[in-house]
Structure 1
């Protein structure tokens, strides 16, 4: 059963937060206990509590407001970090390393920077380094001269400790550090 309307106690006093979208309703229940019902945002799910004293109810409401304010601040900081301008330039090489029974390594080159949040990437080949090859494994290095496929556009994620680009649902590209990357294959 889906609740579509908010249950607001009769004879309650409404207290609304300016930011965070919380709405509190304070009242006393049939036993004379101080109570609070509150909702966050557009939610119709209520949070309801009763307390031994008015002070405990006030303290609880203050704590909830403090938590909501901290969460809103954290979300704003994360949003700002995600949308922060990146420092990638044309020619920069990125790599992915992913797989389950094998380690797939792919290299990409930034070919264009259309905006402060996006890049145009081109996959490039990744031959084994110096012909190094052991049983079903080796080390790959990028070859920017040999392009694979068509260039594509991706958003740069700046929210982590270093910039990254999500290539698809399994691979995330990071800035290449200039070292050979271990790769393996199975049959």
Structure 2
């Protein structure tokens, strides 16, 4: 009996790359306007057809729909709109840059060992928790919950203050973001200016 050994055939053919929804949408508009130029700049992708006076803009590379789809009466009007649109983007970029610089300076001033922050959770009931910064290293910060001293205006509401160095619970390590310290998915820590904070526990 002759033994037959099967051999797996391999090919070096490139596998097809699946296009994203964004790429498919750009290709769709490119099929409608074959002469359109594709321009990528300022975090946007532009399709500019100077023969049909069409301007299409996508923001980012995850967009599934354009933020602008416009047609014009002339190429001059098209170009005027494009330049005004770019100027608006540059103003937004500059505003975000300045806001980020202000936030970073604020972080440098406030996020230091010994400084105290707090959270205020709830609507009908406002629960206050205080945290003291234990250590800061680069973009990482270690915080620890501290006790608080409540005063009562009534049985279910009043004012409260954090008690420095009166630690409770275990330290927590967090990252410092552009806009401060986020303690969970949605909530940022608020810098405590040593003024009493309102609390309530209405049923």
Q: Which residue of 2 aligns with 1:118?
A: 140
- The count of residues paired between Structure 1 and Structure 2 equals 174
Relative contact order (C-alpha < 8 Å, sep 6+): which is higher? 1
- Tell me: CA distance 1:185–1:19, structure 2 relative to 1, closer, same or farther (3 Å): closer
Q: Distance in 1 between matches of 2:72 and 2:178?
A: 44
Deviations 1:128-171 (A, max 9, x none): 24xx4522122222223432211112234554xxxx43223464
Return the TM-score normalized by structure 2.
0.68
Unaligned residue ranges in structure 2 (runs of 5+): 1-20
Task: Give the conservation status (yes or no) of the 8 Å contact 1:98–1:170.
Answer: no
Of 191, 196, 202, the match for 1:175: 191
* Distance apart, 1:77 and its partner CA: 4.1
Task: Give the conservation status (yes or no) of the 8 Å contact 2:116–2:133.
Answer: yes
Q: Distance in 2 between matches of 1:184 and 1:40?
A: 44
Of 60, 63, 83, the match for 1:62: 83
Task: Give the conservation status (yes or no) of the 8 Å contact 1:139–1:183.
Answer: yes
- Tell me: CA distance 1:165–1:59, structure 2 relative to 1, closer, same or farther (3 Å): same
- Tell me: CA distance 1:170–1:127, structure 2 relative to 1, closer, same or farther (3 Å): farther
Return the TM-score normalized by structure 1.
0.73
Structure number with larger C-alpha Rg: 2
* Distance apart, 1:64 and its partner CA: 1.9
Unaligned residue ranges in structure 1 (runs of 5+): none
* Distance apart, 1:113 and its partner CA: 1.0
Q: Distance in 1 between matches of 2:56 and 2:191?
A: 49
- Residue 99 in structure 1 maps to residue 99 in structure 2: no
